[in-house]
Amino acid sequence: MTILTTPAGIATGAADALRKRPGADVAGATFKWLLIGATVFATGFLAVLLAVMIVDGWDVLSGNLWYFLTHGFSQRSAGEAGVWQGIIGSLQVALVTGVFAVPTGVATAIYLVEYAQGNRFARIVELNIRNLAGVPSIVYGLLGLAVFAQTLRGFSGGTTAIAGGMTLAAMVLPIVVITSVEALKAVPDSLREAAYGVGATKWEVLSRQVLPAALSTILTGTVLALARALGEAAPLILVGAATGFMSFGDANMLETFTGPYTALPVLIFNFARQPGADWGVNAAAASVIILVLVLAVNGLAIYLRNRFERQW
């Protein structure tokens, strides 16, 4: 850097000093290419995974997809087996998970942010909840087996979709709480003050200003948590979804919640365990189906978010 002292010096040196020099910001350019490389690696990895699954499962996906989607599990041959029970089971489990995790989680977050307002108790609870989000899912499976399937047998009916859903609810609850807490904290205090300033009660401030403002973020976090629950196999295997069998018989929709159940990830696990290449095709095809299901759920999240954001 040249120190320019006199006006004459500034004038004569200007053209030279202002000229672009190649290589002036090598670090910045390098960093940019590193970032691009990381992005390509991350998305490329997913693309390869997806491609491999589609190629491996192509026989099922292209040939008898409808049969595969609408028929139940069969141990006799890979060609006879389908994922119908898994789809229904996963949706049931996800529904139970949502029913238990969402109201509880959002309510917890509202209490922590709006009522406890960062007092010592709230800080301790929040810290613990953040730690709980890191607990391996298999541990929740043990909890589910001990508490939801056995202690609460009278309510859940044993190792049923209800017990499985409650287990996953316990697992995703910390995620729901944390995303909701962040969503509520992101609502600016100026909005709360504006509402209090015209004579709103706490309930009116919460229900008409804070929650609507935080809703899109809460919804997004909640649905993402449900998507994670949809993909879990380990805890469900512990809480009774291991058989891969589910006979509907004459059972109505409500009764299936309290009978034997299975879920898509558990089915994939079962398919993959069977000997023979054609079972592998089934596993790959079922993986594509669960991906589509999760994508559909995420799409719903985006739709809901956009819908609620447009309201103002």
107-126: contacts with other proteins (CB under 8 A): 117-119
Q: Which is nearer to other proteins, 27 or 198 (CB)?
A: 198
Which region, judged by CB under 8 A, interacts with other proteins, from 52-60, 207-215, 236-244, 286-294?
207-215
The distance of Cα 45 from the centroid of its chain, to the nearest Å, equals 19
**Could you tell me the smallest distance in angstroms from the CB atom of residue 301 to other proteins?**
20
CA count, 13 A, side-chain hemisphere, 36 = 6
Whose Cβ is closer to other proteins: residue 200's or residue 234's?
200
DSSP states of 202-220: HHHHIIIIIHHHHHHHHHH
Q: Which of residues 143-202 bind other proteins (CB under 8 A)?
A: 188, 190-201
The answer to whether the beta carbons of residues 209 and 113 sit under 8 Å apart is no
Interatomic CA distance for residues 184 and 214, integer angstroms: 6
Three-class SS state of 242: coil
Considering beta carbons, is residue 188 or 276 the nearer one to other proteins? 188
Per-residue x/- marks for other proteins, 212-241, CB under 8 A?
A: -x----------------------------
Q: What is the closest distance, in whole angstroms, from the C-beta atom of residue 219 to other proteins in the complex? A: 16
Q: 128, exposed or middle or buried, with CB in 10 Å at 0-12, 13-18, 19+? A: exposed
Query: Is the separation of the CB atoms in 269 and 233 below 8 Å?
Result: yes
Closer CB to other proteins, residue 135 or residue 191?
191
Task: Rank residues 124 and 191 by Cβ distance to other proteins and give the closer one.
Answer: 191
Min dist CB 190 to other proteins, Å, is 4
Task: Give the whole-angstrom CA distance, residue 39 versus residue 28.
Answer: 17
Contact between 77 and other proteins (CB under 8 A)? no
Least separation in angstroms between residue 214's CB and other proteins is: 11
Give CA separation, 65 vs 60, 72, 90, 184, in Å.
6, 13, 19, 44
CB of 306 vs other proteins, minimal distance in Å: 15
| Count of residues near other proteins by CB under 8 A | 21
Q: In one letter, which amino acid is 230?
A: L
**Cβ distance to other proteins smaller for residue 32 or 208:** 208
Find out whether 158 and 240 touch, Cβ atoms under 8 Å: yes
The site for other proteins (CB under 8 A) is made up of 117-119, 188, 190-201, 204, 208-209, 213, 312
